Each structure stands twice: as C-alpha cells, then as structure tokens.
Structure 1
C-alpha cells in the first residue's frame, strides 16, 4: 500500500523517529562492496530510496531512578533534579513561551527540527553576554554536534535567560541551576540576526559516520534548478485534455506526436536538431510542502513556470495517479520513479520526498512527448483536482493506438537497434553503481563541511573567550592595579578579530554546504535517476512488448487448411462454416496488422528514448552540473580566502611585546 510507486526492488525504508539515536542506526554503504550493483536481476537491486533509514535526530528519552523522563540530548547531567511530564525543564520544552517558538521558526524556516550551531552562535551573540558564558551555554547543549535539536535549542534559550537575570558578571550556568530557577525565569533578551547569511542557514543535522543515504538529504532551497540557466518565462502553455486520450478526440497531424512536437516531419534528424540547447528552454515546476491536514495528510503546492493556472494543491496520491496514468499511456518512454510513502514520516523524510517529487515532475514536463499530455496538464492546472478525478473518466490507452508513424520515421529506425540497446543494457549496472557512490561521497563531503562549520563556530567562541579573559590574567589589568596594559589590550583586540574571522568562516561554510545540498547532490541524483529510468524502461519492455502475433498466425493457417478441406468435401452446410472461418481469419489478420504496427512503434519509441532523450540529457546534465559545481567551489574558496587575507592585514597591528 505505502510503497506502491516503487516499481523496482529494495526493501522499504526503515521507519525512524525524531527520538532515535544516531549511533544505533545501521547505514548501508555502497562503497563497502567492490561490486557496483549486487543482486539477482540483470540490473542489480539498486533502490536509492531504501539504502538506509533516516538520520536520527536526538536520543531516546531516558528515565531516572524514579522512573521519570529525562530531557534527551541536552548535555551530560541535564536530568538532575528535573520532574517528568509537564513539570520542570521538560514542561518548558513541551510548552515553550511564544518567544522561544518564534526564534526557532526564524532560524528553522523549513521546520526540520534542527538549528545549525553557527545560527545559534549568531543569535546568542545578541544577548550581550560574555563570550565565555555563550561558549559554556553552547557546550552544555550541543554535545559536540554541529546543530541543536528543538529541545536543545529551547534549553539554550533558557540558559541565556538565566545568565541575563544573574546579577553576577560571571553567572553560575548549569542545568541544575536552571532547573531550580525555572519558576522565576524571565524571557531571554535576544533577536534573530537579520544578516544576509541567515537566509542560507543550514538547518540540517550532520551526516552519520557512513554518510547520508538517498533518503536523508533535506533541501534548503526550493527554487534552484541545477540545469536551468535561462530565465523563467510566464506564459500560457496549455494542451487540450482531449488531445491526450480523454473527452472528445481531436484530429491529429501526420507526425509522430499529437501536436507534432515529439517527432517532427522529416525524421529524427530534424528532432535531434530541435533538441539542441533544450536545457535553455526548460519548464520548471516547484514543489513545496504545505501544512498537514490531520495526522497523516501531507499536501504539496505545485506551481509551473509556464502554465498560468498558478499554484495548485496536490497530495502524494495525486502524484501516484499521474505516474500510473503515464505508465499505462507511455509504457515505452523514460519515466522516473516516485519516492516512497511511509507512516509517521519525520521532517527529513518529508523534505527528501519533496525533492524526489520535484525531480519527478520536472523530468516529465521536459520530456519531448509527455510534456503535452492532457493528464499532466490537468495535474498542473486544475484547482479542484480531486473532484475532477471523480467526475472524469480518463483514457489509459497505449499511445500506439492513436499515433501512427510515417514512412520516413519507420525507415529511420536502425536495423541494429537491439545491439545498440544491448550496449546500454550491459553498462547500466556499472554506471548506476558509480552514480550511487558519487551521491554517497557527496553526502559524506556535505557532512564534513557541516562539521567544519560547527567547529569554526566553536573556534570563534573559544578565541573570543580567551580575548576577554586575557586581561583578567594580567597583573597590570586586574582591579586596583595602576594604569593598564596596552599589550594585553592589543592582543585581546587581535583575538577578537580572529574570533570574528572564524565566525565568517563558519557562515561561508554553511553557505557552501547549502549550495552543495541544493545543487550538486540534486544534480547527481537527477543524473542517476535518468539511468534508473532506462533500467525500468528495459524491464517494462521485456514485460509488455510481447504480443500474440505468432499464435494468431498459427490460428489463421489452421483455419485456412480447414476451410480448404471443407470446400473439397462440400458437405451439407459447408458454405456457412467456411464463411465463419473466413470472418474469424479476417479478424485475426486485422489484429496481426495492428500488432505488427505496434512492434514498429515500440522500436521507434525505444530508439527515440535512446537517441534523443537519454543521449542529450546525460551529456547536458553531466556538463552543466559539474560546471556549476566548479563555479560554486571556486566562489566558496575565494570567499574563505578573502576572510583570511583580511585577517592577516588586520593582525599586522596586533602587538607582540
């Protein structure tokens, strides 16, 4: 029921909760085996949606000796003196003040339940607390991670309020002290940092030690398409529903496609020419999450850049309906798989599925044949899609029944098509395994970059703390000493500059991580999906291309022999029997003609998908994707290099003796 769209292999995604420990999860590693694609079938058992469970978010709640819940994941000893249920610190986390929830919403706009350490550092920097106090608060709550979960973030805010309410310049900050002061705890004096870097805050947890799997890379930006280099155009690109199989049939041209856009008159050479620079004319469909309706119903907002209906609301089951319809109409076309469905999905699973749905729908709307399908157009434009489905009977006839090839198109099919397809079939397992490894390696690199961003924030905190404490360690700067120490003051200012530079490095690392997540990893997955689509196409071809021509021919031969024997015997009523045999033979011959035409049409489809769709897209996507990656990496390295160059110039004035 829940994994129906996954047409090819693999166990279902293991269910995970927001309260599972990362260390207890087992992650499949495609790099652990030298075989690119293990499995029984000719294409292996590669299933990108079920390589591993979702990354765990935080620890399972523990219980103290009294059997009461201890708030998980907020540092060692956090449960001391806490009550369970709605009391104590647990009660504050379960039912936080409005300010806490507002700050979390600002720093976690995608509702992933995680706030990056750099974002927390920027927020706590507005508290006007000493750097050493801020460092202590982060160390108490983050537990050496590069992000804070929801409960950890709320605990950090409560510790800030505790520190701000203390009359001492060096307040006693601890979980025990916080628990004892909850009854009179004020709200923290903070504000979200409106700096531009906050727009690209990476609110995702670190990748586990063995790397993210396919289902675990939450997206940051819904609006970036790695292959789209041309500006979006808003226009009306509607196709009549009846032109693609429902409603009243519309006369079509003599070309291969209903509107002539797929195979143009003159053969595939003309069409191949028309596909040049196709990546400059892409239609872009954005898929974004909307609020849940009830416990299970998750809806998506779908909006095309070229269809003027505006945003429409769709359920996951509507995507399943669209895929099933297209599979029945176009069984011999490239179609990507849908991400799976599961009960009780967490925020990361939902975000991963949203990205998978986006890749699916953008593949379909830019396919030279399916982009003009009426069902697809209704899916993208109909505001009341559910009621439309109830009142409209949609034809699922195979496209070979309504589309005919002309003589030039038939002659353009190469005689050695099976050999050409066989070459790709033989190499698919290896290239799929390679792309799966590339995705895993890219996600591991993302995890390391996120960890670097967290470590840079910690470096900034520690260096700033040292700069503040240096004067307290100097006999000339302590209270009561005459004069001051210009050396310590100068070094302290220099260390402040160093801390500020580390903060900049953390922000730039976050930006690079967000870019890698929204562009490079998605680009690799789009390329991998292309090969997965052809693998699935081979499977469908092996299943559905078979026909009954040979058996019908044998029946025709048997009837003809029988008719001849009846004519020779000329028994009473032989004319009636012969007429029946002739009528049945004519019917079978007509069916044979249709099936033979379908054979040729299937060959034309396979040649079209191989030579036009697959060939152009695998080249364009690889080239444009790696070009974009090189540009992004170069820009990121230059930005971080600029930070260190500027620091080097500023530290020239830092005193030595």
Structure 2
C-alpha cells in the first residue's frame, strides 16, 4: 500500500494509460464490471496502520495520478498519441475550470458521482457516458486530474460524432487536431457541492483556513531568542497573552490557576481551565504540488491566529521542531511524527499530511508549549532555512528557567504516583482498542467509497436501459406489414415504453443522488477518523511521556550525598590531625561540598518540577482533552449520521412519489 514508487518529475498522461486499463481493449468497450474489484489497499486504506511497527505490504499497482508510467503496447513516436498527451498536459482553460469547480476540496481527484453529474449535462446517452467513465477511471471510485481531462476530450469527441461511431482512445488520438470543446453546462447549485472534510485537532467545528490580518512580521534578527517563552502578542488572540507582559525567560502561565492548582479544594476543575476548546488555534497543513525533487516534498502551513500568512515547510523542519520541543519540554505531552519513506505513493503522502496536521495542532493548543518561541518561528518565519542557519537555538530543559512557587508545590498530590499508575496500567488496553477502532473505521470508509462509485454506475446502467427500451420494442420501431406498408413509421415511443423509460430515468437520478449522499457520509467518516486518531495520539503521547519520565527522572542525588558525607568525615579527620597545611586541604573539600550541595538542591528542585509537570499533564492536558475530544467527536458524528439518514429518507420518498404513475401495462 505504501511502498509503490512515486514519479520524480511532472508527469504526462499517455493514451496507453487508458488502453491498458484492466478489462478494456484499445478500440472496444468491454464489461463495465470487469475491473470493478478494487486491489488490496485501494482507496488508501489497508489492514496495516501506517504508523505501526508492522511492515506495510508492497503494492505493485501504480498509484493514482501516476498513470503516465504505463506505456505498454504504445509506440512512442505516434503523432496522434503525442497530441493526446499535449492536450491532457496542457488542456484548454475550460477543462481546468470545470475540474476546479468539481474538486472543491483540492485533493486532485473527483468522484464518479461528481463526474457523472457533470457529464449528464452533455446530453449524451447514458451508455456513452458509462463508456467514457469506464475508459478513464482507473481506481473505480474517482478520476485524477489528467483522467478527467481525457474524459472531457472523449465527451467532445462523442458530441462531434454520429451516434453509431465508436468512442475509443484510438479515435480520440486521431481526432485531436480537429477536436472541439465539450458542450457542458455545470450548475452552480449542483447537488454534488461538498465541503472538504474537517480534519485534525478539531473539537467543535471545522478549522478555519483564513489567517488573521494583524500584520505580524517575523523577526529576522540574528539575536532572536527562540527560547523566549513570552507570549507572541502580535497576531494572536487574547488567550495567548499573559497579563503584565514579560521578558525573555520569564515564567509564563503553565496552566495552573492562581493558587497553583488546576483544581479547587473540592476537586472541581478551576473556572480558568474550563472551556479551553472554545478558542482553539487551527493550523492547516497542505501538500504543495510543485515538487522540487524526490526528497523535497513541501507543505503549506498556515495558522488562523498567527497572521504571517502561509509558510512553506519540509518534513525535516517538523523533525527539527519536535527535536527542540522534546529537549525543552521532556516532561510534557508531545505527539510523535509520522515516519519518512523513500519513494512514497500518493496514499502515504496524504496519510502523512494528515498526521503532520494532527501533530502541529496538538502542539499549538498545549497550554504551555503554545507560547514557545521556536514554535512561533516555525509557524511565521518565511525564510526558515536561512533563519536556522544563522540562529543558535537553546535546548535547555524547561526546569532551568521556570521555578515553582509554594502554592504550586503544595498542589501536587501526595499520591501522584498512584494516580499515574492507574493510567499507566490501563494504557495498553486503551491503545489497542483505539487502534482497532481506527482500523475498522477506515475499512468502513473504504466500503462507503466503493458504495458511492457503485451507486453512480447503477445510475448509468439504469438510465442506459431506459434509453434502450424504445429501440428494442416492436411497437416503437419501424416495421412493415405483409404488403410492405410502413407501420408506426414516425419512430416515436409507445406510451408504455415512454412511461417506463421516464420511471427508469427517475430511478437513475435517485441513484446518483444516493452516490452524492454517500460522498457526504465519506466526508463525515473521514472527519470522525481524524478525531479518533487525535484522541489515540493523546494516549500515545502519554505512553511516550512515561518512557521519557522513567529515563529522565533518574539523577545522582544519592551519589552526591555520599560524596558530601565522605568529605565531611575527611574534613573532621584533617582537623583532628592538625597536620601542616590542613587548612588548604579543608578549603578544597569545603568548596567541593558547596558545589555538590548546590547540585543536590537543583536536582531536588527538578524532582519537584517533574512531579508538577506530570500532575499538570495528567490533570489538565490529558484529562480534559480526552474527555472533550471523545464527547464532541461522537456527538458531531451522531448528529451528522441522523442528518444523513433523513436526507436519504427524503431521496427515497421522492422516488416513491415519482414512481406512483409508472405504467405496468
């Protein structure tokens, strides 16, 4: 699924891509069901979680959008085929405009239902539309950009040909020089206008893609302190600002209330900690289609609360950011990054984009990390690579610059280890359940995608039958009697065929509506899967936090104390012996003791700080977020499902009313 190679340069779509499609011949039209069984992993989902340790299965098929690599059986020097490549790679403006109208989510692919809705405005017979879709669709559920352009070219060919002419890629290649523009009339209020699925760290609604207009100008100074935790006041909402401002290393709010605890004495969460999800920051992460090379896949990153506008980032930039954050905030919840893979296919790139989006939205909404200086630079600095080269970033631990007050120390419960142990013991079973939930949801999504495509094909088949009724009816066709006199010579349909044809047309229209409603369900399921993955990432982050805590909480306080005790005994011995020069030796031992005692004090403070961080991450970050994400995610999913069922019921009720007058004899 994830190991198929990705082409290195800009591609072109050869006519061979369609001539060699499964179940199709170069000049004819074969059984439309011959190639409808999806290959394993089709649609971008398989049995293996892409971020698990299990190796992903290899896939020999070509990813969507890479159909230009299939050139079997085609002579490279054919002038007609070169013309087809030229048309598809440099299409007329109307081709691009039609694609952009349908591809509302900007994924580079359009569903069969959307394509069918558009092609039905060509007034071509349903059987011809079905042929065109089967000649151009390679994955049986959608069309890539170049496949869509080829479909439009076939529409133009069919519209300029007689009804008896065969529609094929070979005829299209030969007709390129004189090919007219397709006559299509897309409706601005088409039923298939679908919104892009809201994904990522989203609790209450879809993330905004527009940035604020506060005019934030990233610092270009080489003296910028990326370890500065002062909240960014330019271009940020009020909830990012701390009262009184502050200087570079001033301790900012770490999510504690005024008395140092996230909870009141009665165990209820402080009011200042409530409703955090009402003002979340949303960061969009999108693939930049213009690739500069094999390893230089870039992403457009844009926050709705940092008004620098979109910035371009590479995967290695995300790695740099996580490395900085892990070193600075080792005892904080931090999500993992998706893996890197040589030669990723389109499905892997899209899965990684979503994972990167979940990662950055998790970070920017952490109550402590959101104000980190390096994070702000990552989201706002246009010339990020040059900034990294000229700026040395401090990676000192958070505990070096932040100190707890007495109230915060007193807020740490005495049974913290017991509370953490409860979560630690139950993490494996929770993570296993979430992994299964994500996997089953993705399988359900895959079935819905196939169901939408099948509904679209059902619509075409039913409409084709309706168009063929009068051609196969003895009462509708021209015939002669025994004397050679023409009977029913006007070629019109009989009343029975006309009524049945109208009923089948309504049935076909209903199935395309079902396909469109199924697409809406695909959008809902996609959003819900991202919500599930966000919650899963939260638990995975705590699992990783436990690992870092077990490793980093160890110190040498006991060893230093033994050294101090040993020196104290030696000092007493030197004093009692009273040998010449004992004062100098004692001064050296006292200085060493002072240094070790200072280290002991610092390490003991760090122990307390680590406990405070663990309590904060458990009680404030994890506890509230897992509850809010789960509650909002399932509430929204349930409401969307209810709305979808009502819409489907309305579609079938409408068909029922239309079929009341369908004749039977």
TM-score bucket (shorter structure): 0.7 to 0.9
Matches within 5 A, 1:476-495: 476-479=475-478, 481-482=487-488, 485-495=494-504
Q: Counterpart of 1:98?
A: 91
- The 1:322–1:567 alpha-carbon spacing in structure 2 relative to 1, beyond 3 Å, is same
Q: Tell me the distance in 1 between the aligned counterparts of 2:614 and 2:252.
A: 20
Give the whole-Å Cα distance in 2 for the aligned partners of 1:28 and 1:475.
51
Inter-partner Cα distance in structure 2 for 1:383 and 1:287: 15
How many residues align structurally? Answer: 597
- Secondary structure class of the residue paired with 2:312: strand
**Is the 8 Å Cα contact of residues 285 and 302 (structure 1) preserved in structure 2?**
yes
Structure 1 position 310, deviation (Å)? 3.2
Counterpart secondary structure, 1:98: coil
- Give the equivalent residue in structure 2 for 1:600: 608
State the Cα distance separating 1:488 from its structure 2 match: 1.2
Deviations 1:235-283, CA, capped at 9 Å, x for gaps: 8799997594489xx9999xx9823352233132157432222111212
1:52-91, aligned counterparts within 5 Å? 52=56, 58=62, 71=71, 79=73, 82-84=74-76, 88-89=80-81
Going from structure 1 to structure 2, the CA distance change for 1:421 and 1:355 (only over 3 Å counts) comes to same
| TM-score computed with the length of structure 2 as normaliser | 0.80
Give the superposition deviation at 1:638: 1.1
Contact 1:303 1:311 in 2 (8 A): yes
C-alpha distance in 1 between matches for 2:563 and 2:182: 87
Q: What is residue 134 of structure 2 aligned with on the other side?
A: 139
Moved more, 555-564 or 158-167: 158-167
- State the alpha-carbon separation in 2 of the partners of residues 377 and 492 from structure 1: 63
**What secondary structure sits across from 2:309 in the alignment?**
coil
User: Could you say which residue in structure 1 is the equivalent of 2:258?
Assistant: 265
Q: Encode CA deviations 1:201-223: one digit per residue, 9 max, x unaligned.
A: 8xxxxxxxxxxxxxxxxxx4467
The 1-side partners of 2:252 and 2:553 are apart by 25
CA distance in structure 2 between the aligned counterparts of 1:153 and 1:308, rounded to whole angstroms: 36
SS in 2 for 1:200: coil
Match of 1:40 in 2: none
Which segment is superposed worse, 89-98 or 292-301? 89-98
Deviations 1:147-200 (CA, angstroms, capped at 9, x unpaired): 234564454344333322322x23323455555656655554446554444442
1:306-359 deviation per Cα after TM superposition (whole angstroms, max 9, x unaligned): 233333333333222221111111100000112223344333333322222221
Give 3-state SS (helix, strand or coil) of 1:339's partner. coil
Match of 2:522 among 513, 521, 525: 513
Alignment partner, residue 503 of structure 1: 512
Match of 1:640? 648
Residues 325, 396 of structure 1: 8 Å contact kept: yes
Separation in 2 of the partners of 1:231 and 1:362?
A: 10
- Counting only pairs closer than 5 Å after superposition, residues 276-291 of structure 1 correspond to structure 2 as 276-291=274-289
- Closer, same or farther in 2 for the Cα pair 1:252/1:590, shift >3 Å? farther
TM-score, with structure 1 as normaliser: 0.81
- SS for the counterpart of 1:546 is coil
Partner of 2:166: 172
C-alpha displacement at 1:584, in angstroms?
0.2
My pick for the range that moved more, 192-201 or 541-550, is 192-201
Match of 1:569 among 567, 574, 577: 577
Relative distance call for 1:536 and 1:521 in structure 2 (3 A) is same
Aligned to 2:562: 554
One of 512, 516, 534 as aligned partner of 2:542: 534
2:643 & 2:212 partners in 1: Cα distance? Answer: 31
CA-to-partner distance for each residue in 1:372-396, whole Å, 9 max, x for gaps? 2222223223333333333333221
The Cα of 1:92 is off from its aligned counterpart by 2.1
Distance 1:56 1:530 in 2: 35
